[in-house]
Chain A
Amino acid sequence: MKNMIEKFKGLTVSKKIQIIAAMIFTIALLVTIPVYAWFTNQKKAAEMFKVEYPNALYINAAHREDQVNLALDGINVNEYQLNADGTIKTVNDTPVKITEERYVFSVSGSNTNQFILQMAHTNNNLFTYKIYAATEQTTEPESGTYVEYKATGEHTENTMVFTGDTVSKDDVLYYVKGDEVSGGYLNMGSGASVANSGTSDTHYYKTYGDNTNVESHAVPSYWQATINADQGANKQFCKYFILEVTWNNTVQATQTAKETDLVYFSVTRKS
């Protein structure tokens, strides 16, 4: 050791610098290598998950406008049909009452191949509800049944934008009635005027549990249909429907008190 120190002392300054530098480099390398070793000294595992795209679904009034514009109020079973000149329409001198009303609504959304449209309604008024597919057009159709809709431009609930969608406020849109949507009631037999009651019915039980003292007209009827969304390449779609409410005047004539019915629409993504 002493020898080495002596030798070191005997060296020229430049040699000393070289030796010191070499030593420092060696030490530095020694420090670095263990660090790299530490770095590899671990084991890893991983799992990959697929995230489901949010299934945005909206129910709106015609042209995806805010729901407030889908107003089902004001059905008056005692109103008469009018001729084009404003006079009351008569058949064999008997005035003809209005027996139907139509309302347009839309179902739109994204990333949905199929959805289930559900209508739930009470049966106080003994109305018949049917849902038809509808197509939108901006010119008045020459024939067929259609519903007129004056655009309000209210899109606060649904801001989806479609290509070529240039409708502005006060434009009149026409919705042509198409085929009836094939669906069915889950808890109401064909021809029945009220939903199935009784705790043995699963839908009844889910709503009311063990309670049996429920007015039968207030039990909601559930109607469902599975509908293809036919979405475009950008995974968006917008479908229009016409809700047709019809009533039978002779039956309605027996109803003296005004009644209220609740109609709910809901959609869920199926695939």
Chain B
Amino acid sequence: MNDNKSKFPIGELAQSASSSSPKVDELAEKKKNQKKSLIKMGVMGVLTLILLIFSSLSWFTQNRETSVGDMQIKTATLPFDIATKGANVRNQSVINSKRSEYVEGSSGPYSNPSGTSGTYYTDDSLLLRYTPEVDDPNTTDVDESITPDISPGSSGELSLYVIPKTDSSMKVKVSLNVVAFAEIDKYDVSTVTNAETNEEETVYTNNGTQIVEITSLADFTTAANAVNNSTAASEAAKYIAAADYLKGHILFFGGLGETTTNSGSSGSETVWEYYYTTPYTSRIINQKIASGNEGKAVQVPIYWMWTNTLGQIALQTNTNNLRSGIPVVEESVINLTDDTDTDKELLLAYLNTNKSSVFTVTETITQDMIYNADALANFETLSKQYNAADYEIGTRIAYFMIEVTVESDS
């Protein structure tokens, strides 16, 4: 930086002896300096750019869909293991064909915080398990041996446990993701010469089905074309929309609701007043694990539901008797001006934010309609489009996967 000074030391005259005039000399020097600083700036710019690329690269990895094969790297630094418990794995062959990294894991006995011991399975990429519900043999409900497929009205609990490696309290962050798959017909293409016209004809022969993950329009179209299913390829946008509806219609909750006892002539029975509390509308759970649980299986309660009717979600009072079925969360009149968010307020806000994922939106849906669903006209519009979305899900989606990511949360 002190080039000037070294060229013109104090006490020395400027090179007046030189042939050129001092003014021209100064100008040339100035120009030289300008050039120098330009190069410096250029270098700085390049370096900044490199830094930017590096930092944006890291930014990119932070937000990337977590589907790469690096998953097998041992994560010894996490202060906990994850575990699951239950008799069976649902649709194991299907999930293994699509996500081979998920394994049953190693089983071992663990006890829960209250001391009850059981068999749990642990691994870093774990297939969640479930235990089929034991049906009451005294009732004539549906076939007890068959695990029912999922349809509107279905619900369940994810069997997810955290086993801390230390006795200190910790926080875990659980992210939930819903991934949809379609099952489309596969075709073999062959060319056959027509005996009458002697012309070559393309013949499509059905050859079973293919399960395709619904990610993007381009990927789905490619996958459909790969199995020569031009119908599915041309309807790719509808499959994408259906996957979006599925994500909108599966709701997650953190706790069970209230029951009430009805007594009638045929005896008393316990029925749900509402099913759940604590909706996880952001799909992110910040769960605190209490201290003193080293080596114990602590459950992270996650309930999911594919609500059958809109009335169960959106109605605040049901004064017009529009609801069929039991409310999903406690019904209450919303108050948007107070500070606290009730479960009902959270759900309605969710419906409003995710309008296009919950409703087919063939007719305009406004926030006002969602926040006033008890009015018959609003209810009819919303309900119709909620059901239409359900139909789209049912006709396009064959499987869906709930993916759970567990991290340390400081």
User: Nearest B residue to A53 by beta-carbon distance?
Assistant: B394
Cβ–Cβ contact A51 & B73, under 8 A: no
Q: With A and B bound together, what is the CA distance between A41 and B405 in angstroms?
A: 10
Pick from B54, B149, B408: contact of A52, CB below 8 A: B149
A11: interface (CB < 8 Å) = no
B128: interface (CB < 8 Å) = yes
List which B363-404 residues lie within 8 A (CB) of chain A: 390-391, 393-395, 397-404
A258: interface (CB < 8 Å) = no
B62: interface (CB < 8 Å) = yes
User: Nearest B residue to A50 by beta-carbon distance?
Assistant: B149
A262: interface (CB < 8 Å) = no
Pick from A36, A41, A47, A210: contact of B75, CB below 8 A: A41
Cβ–Cβ contact A42 & B75, under 8 A: yes
Pick from A28, A29, A40, A44: contact of B73, CB below 8 A: A40
List of A residues within 8 angstroms of B149 by Cβ = 49-52
A2: interface (CB < 8 Å) = no
Pick from A44, A45, A49: contact of B66, CB below 8 A: A44
Q: With A and B bound together, what is the CA distance between A210 and B266 in angstroms?
A: 10
List of A residues within 8 angstroms of B408 by Cβ = 41
A263: interface (CB < 8 Å) = no
A17: interface (CB < 8 Å) = yes
List of A residues within 8 angstroms of B397 by Cβ = 51
Given contacts A52-B151, A54-B391, A210-B265, contact A46 B58 (CB under 8 A): no
Given contacts A45-B126, A52-B150, contact A39 B62 (CB under 8 A): yes
Pick from B47, B84, B158: contact of A21, CB below 8 A: B47
Size of the A side of the interface (Cβ < 8 Å), in residues, is 32
Cβ–Cβ contact A48 & B401, under 8 A: yes
Interface size bucket, B side? 35 or more
B55: interface (CB < 8 Å) = yes
List which B137-158 residues lie within 8 A (CB) of chain A: 148-151, 158
Given contacts A35-B62, A40-B70, A40-B71, contact A47 B407 (CB under 8 A): no
B290: interface (CB < 8 Å) = no
In the assembled complex, the CB of A210 is this many whole angstroms from the nearest CB of chain B, namely: 6
Cβ–Cβ contact B394 & A45, under 8 A: no
Given contacts A24-B51, A39-B62, contact A44 B126 (CB under 8 A): yes
In the assembled complex, the CB of A177 is this many whole angstroms from the nearest CB of chain B, namely: 35
A233: interface (CB < 8 Å) = yes
Instruction: Tell me what chain B mostly uses at the interface: helix, strand, loop, or mixed.
Output: mixed
Cβ–Cβ contact B50 & A25, under 8 A: yes
Q: With A and B bound together, what is the CA distance between A53 and B400 in angstroms?
A: 13
Given contacts A45-B125, A47-B402, A49-B402, contact A31 B61 (CB under 8 A): no
Q: With A and B bound together, what is the CA distance between A21 and B391 in angstroms?
A: 59
Given contacts A35-B61, A35-B62, A54-B394, contact A45 B127 (CB under 8 A): yes
Given contacts A42-B405, A43-B126, A44-B405, contact A31 B58 (CB under 8 A): yes
List which A1-33 residues lie within 8 A (CB) of chain B: 17, 20-21, 24-25, 28-29, 31-32
Q: With A and B bound together, what is the CA distance between A50 and B151 in angstroms?
A: 9
A162: interface (CB < 8 Å) = no
Cβ–Cβ contact B82 & A48, under 8 A: no
B236: interface (CB < 8 Å) = no
In the assembled complex, the CB of B54 is this many whole angstroms from the nearest CB of chain A, namely: 4
Cβ–Cβ contact B403 & A44, under 8 A: yes
Beyond A32-B58, A48-B98, A54-B151: 16 further Cβ-contacts under 8 Å? A32-B54, A41-B78, A41-B407, A43-B82, A43-B407, A44-B125, A44-B406, A45-B102, A47-B95, A47-B401, A49-B399, A50-B398, A51-B246, A52-B150, A52-B394, A53-B395
In the complex, 22 of the A-B residue pairs with CB atoms within 8 angstroms, ordered by the A residue number, are A17-B43, A20-B47, A24-B50, A24-B51, A28-B54, A32-B54, A38-B62, A39-B61, A42-B66, A42-B78, A44-B124, A45-B102, A46-B102, A47-B95, A48-B94, A51-B149, A51-B151, A51-B393, A51-B394, A52-B150, A52-B151, A52-B394
